[in-house]
């Protein structure tokens, strides 16, 4: 690493295709350490959030070595972070080297007070751990990452590629960027929002599934939902069992999308709340993220319909209950049983009124687990906070 007090960097020449080229080996870093560092960094800048590929020009795409090998603790004691009591015995050791682009290298050296040793070592470890994880995946671990998003509370939402890579591990996305179904262009307060959004979901998702199921493609989908419960259920119904699909949600406590491990699995209880006067009118309440009370249902449903409910077994409804992948699997089992028992009790129904207070993956599962021509159409309702009542939103499984 160069610094303001010493600029005696060693230059070596190597023959490449019969020509002499200069290779910058700052402070005479060994060829072995140069090679290993480039591999550990995946050829990318290790500064947190940069990740620039350093062996191809970002504009001209000319292939060349644009990487710089920076010392975390400077070669000179007078250099950036150089005056430390526990200086490395080998200042050119791999543990003390980072692969950086020129702007990031200059920044950490010009502002060493902002980038201390511990910070840079953290950047290096996180980057190299990620590269090792991604390159450890087998070829059959690819997945087509899909982000279904709309405005929430009138504001756009997003998920980063880094969050997706972390969540789908040990799989890895087949494309650098996820396939997006972006509904943000629609007015979510407009009268035709749900019909317009459903048409776009159908069109985009069919194209994505066709791509994923091509012979040489992934044959697997990872879905990240950031939209209303009704639209997520609609998407789940389109995916159905056509292709293996993993579902994800953002966890509020850790602010990431990874399924957790450890702890007890969530169990669910299915029961009837009310027997109705009309055998063919049936409603199903999902009181999971929050409690839905009978007296809040629309009058036309509450008066005549038999009402069933799925709740958390022995736990008060709350929005942090879905932590482990098995928690979702347990819901799917209970939900399928509920559909079968409702069918056995009431015969073939034209429609089932659904009132969901659920996280995104559960909403997708509600649509995905429906069997065409066997299960009824789901008439999905949403709690309209402005009017203080449930509003009929969308029909799924038509």
Residue 136 pLDDT class (50, 70, 90 cuts): confident
Using the predicted structure, report yes or no on whether residue 5 has a pLDDT greater than 60.
no
How confident is the model at residue 20, as a pLDDT? 41
pLDDT tens for each residue of 84-118: 989 999 999 999 999 999 999 999 999 999 999 99
For residues 269 and 311, is the Cβ–Cβ distance under 8 A? yes
d(CA 241, CA 389): 34
Mean pLDDT for the stretch of residues 250-259? 94
Q: What percent of the chain has pLDDT over 90?
A: 72
How confident is the model at residue 386, as a pLDDT? 62
For the beta carbon of residue 207, count every other beta carbon within 10 angstroms.
12
Strands 351-357 vs 97-100: parallel, antiparallel or unpaired: unpaired
For the beta carbon of residue 225, count every other beta carbon within 10 angstroms.
26
d(CA 53, CA 101): 9
For residues 42 and 129, is the Cβ–Cβ distance under 8 A? no
Taking all residues of the chain, what is their mean pLDDT, rounded to a whole number?
Answer: 89
Domains and CATH numbers, the chain: 11-135 (no CATH), 139-248 (3.40.50), 268-396 (3.40.50)
pLDDT tens for each residue of 284-341: 999 999 999 999 999 988 889 999 999 999 999 999 999 999 999 999 999 999 999 9
pLDDT tens for each residue of 86-95: 999 999 999 9
Residue 19 pLDDT class (50, 70, 90 cuts): very low
Mean pLDDT for the stretch of residues 272-282? 94
How confident is the model at residue 137, as a pLDDT? 63
Q: Which three-class secondary structure string do you get for the chain?
A: CCCCCCCCCCEEEEEECCEEEEEECHHHCCHHHHHHHHHHCCCECCCCCCCCECCCCCCCCCCCCCCEEEECCCCCCCCCCCCCCCCCCCCCCHHHEEEECHHHHHHHHHCCCCCCHHHHHHHHHHHHHHHHHHHCCCHHHEEEEEEEECCECCECCCCCHHHHHHHHCCCEECCCCCEEEECCCCCCCCCCHHHHHHHHHHHHHHHHHHHHCCCCCCCCEEEEEECCHHHHHHHHHHHCCCCCEEEECCECCCCECCCCCCCCCCCEEEEEEECCCCCCCEEEEEECCCCCCHHHCCHHHHCCCEEEEEEECCCCCCCCCCCCHHHHHHHHHHHHHHHHHHHHHHCCCCEEEEEEECCHHHHHHHHHCCCCCCCCEEEEEEEECCCCEEEEEEEECC
Measured on CA atoms in the order 316, 317, 322, 323, is the torsion positive or negative? Answer: negative
Q: Which of 204, 122, 116, 131 is nearest to 166 (CA)?
A: 131
d(CA 30, CA 8): 16
Using the predicted structure, report yes or no on whether residue 217 has a pLDDT greater than 70.
yes
Residue 139 pLDDT class (50, 70, 90 cuts): low
How confident is the model at residue 241, as a pLDDT? 87
Using the predicted structure, report yes or no on whether residue 212 has a pLDDT greater than 50.
yes
Using the predicted structure, report yes or no on whether residue 53 has a pLDDT greater than 80.
yes
pLDDT tens for each residue of 148-175: 999 776 677 889 988 999 999 988 898 8
Q: What percent of the chain has pLDDT over 70?
A: 90
Using the predicted structure, report yes or no on whether residue 16 has a pLDDT greater than 60.
no
Mean pLDDT for the stretch of residues 378-383? 94
d(CA 28, CA 26): 5
d(CA 386, CA 374): 36
Of 35-39, 140-144, 181-185, least confident by mean pLDDT is 140-144
């Amino acid at each position: 690493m160069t610094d303001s007090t010493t600029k005696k960097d060693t230059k070596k020449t190597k023959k490449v295709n019969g020509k002499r080229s200069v290779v910058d080996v700052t402070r005479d870093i060994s060829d072995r350490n140069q090679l290993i560092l480039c591999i550990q960094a995946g050829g990318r800048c290790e500064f947190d959030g940069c990740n620039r590929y350093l062996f191809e020009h970002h504009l001209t795409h000319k292939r060349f070595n644009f990487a710089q090998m920076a010392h975390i603790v400077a070669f000179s004691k007078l250099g950036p972070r150089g005056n430390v009591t526990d200086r490395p015995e080998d200042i050119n050791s791999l543990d003390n080297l980072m692969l950086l682009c020129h702007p990031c290298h200059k920044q950490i050296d010009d502002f060493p007070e902002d980038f201390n040793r511990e910070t840079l070592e953290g950047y290096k470890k996180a980057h190299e751990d990620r590269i090792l994880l991604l390159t450890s995946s087998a070829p059959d671990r690819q997945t087509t990452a899909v982000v279904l998003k709309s405005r929430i509370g009138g504001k756009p939402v997003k998920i980063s590629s880094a969050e997706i890579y972390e969540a789908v591990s040990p799989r890895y996305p087949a494309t650098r960027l996820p396939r997006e179904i972006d509904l943000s262009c629609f007015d979510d307060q407009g009268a035709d929002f749900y019909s317009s959004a459903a048409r776009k979901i159908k069109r985009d998702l069919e194209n994505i599934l066709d791509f994923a199921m091509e012979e040489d493609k992934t044959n697997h989908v990872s879905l990240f939902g950031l939209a209303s419960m009704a639209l997520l259920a609609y998407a789940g119904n389109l995916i159905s069992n056509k292709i293996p699909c993993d579902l994800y949600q953002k966890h509020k406590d850790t602010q990431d999308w990874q399924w957790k491990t450890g702890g007890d699995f969530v169990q669910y209880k299915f029961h009837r709340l009310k027997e109705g006067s009309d055998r063919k009118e049936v409603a199903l309440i999902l009181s999971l993220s929050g409690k839905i009370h009978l007296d809040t249902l629309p009058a036309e449903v509450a008066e005549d319909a038999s009402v069933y409910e799925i709740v958390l077994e022995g736990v008060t409804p709350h929005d942090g209950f879905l932590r482990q992948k098995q928690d979702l699997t347990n819901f799917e089992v209970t939900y399928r049983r509920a559909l079968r028992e409702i069918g056995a009790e009431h015969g073939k129904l034209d429609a089932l009124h659904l009132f969901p207070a659920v996280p995104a993956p559960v909403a997708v599962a509600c649509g995905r687990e429906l069997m065409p021509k066997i299960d009824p159409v789901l008439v999905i309702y949403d709690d309209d906070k402005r009017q203080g009542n449930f509003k009929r939103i969308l029909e799924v499984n038509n």
